Amino acid sequence: MRTPIIILLFVILLAASCGEPPMPPSDEEMIRHFTTHEVAFRKVYEIMAESSEGSFHYPPLSLLSEIGCGFILVDRREWGTADSVYVSLVMPYYSHGIVDAGTSKSFVYDPGLRSRRNIRITEYGDLNEIYRRTYNDTTLYKPIKGNWYIELDHSI
Question: What pLDDT score was predicted for residue 13?
Answer: 41
- Report DSSP state, residue 139: E
Through-space distance between the first and last CA atoms of the chain, rounded to whole angstroms: 44
User: In terms of pLDDT, which residue wins out, 74 or 23?
Assistant: 74
Mean pLDDT of the chain: 81
What's the pLDDT band for 129 if we cut at 50, 70, 90? confident
**Interval 63-71 mean pLDDT:** 90
Task: State yes or no: pLDDT of 120 exceeds 70.
Answer: yes
**Interval 143-155 mean pLDDT:** 93
Report d(CA 141, CA 106) in Å as an integer.
10
**Interval 16-25 mean pLDDT:** 62
Task: State yes or no: pLDDT of 109 exceeds 80.
Answer: yes
Burial class (CB in 10 A: 0-12, 13-18, 19+), 150: buried
Question: What pLDDT score was predicted for residue 132?
Answer: 80
> Which among 76, 75, 72, 68 has a CA at the least distance from the CA of 59?
72
**Interval 2-11 mean pLDDT:** 46
Burial class (CB in 10 A: 0-12, 13-18, 19+), 141: buried
CA 33 remoteness from chain centre? 12
Quickly list DSSP for 48-113: HHH-BTTB--PPPHHHHHHHT-S--EEEEEEESEEEEEEEEEEEEEEEEEETTEEEEEEEEE-TTG
> Which among 130, 147, 133 has a CA at the least distance from the CA of 27?
130
Q: What's the whole-model pTM score?
A: 0.79
User: In terms of pLDDT, which residue wins out, 77 or 113?
Assistant: 113
Strand order in the sheet with 120-121: 73-79, 81-98, 101-109, 148-155, 138-145, 120-121
Question: What pLDDT score was predicted for residue 17?
Answer: 41
What's the pLDDT band for 31 if we cut at 50, 70, 90? very high
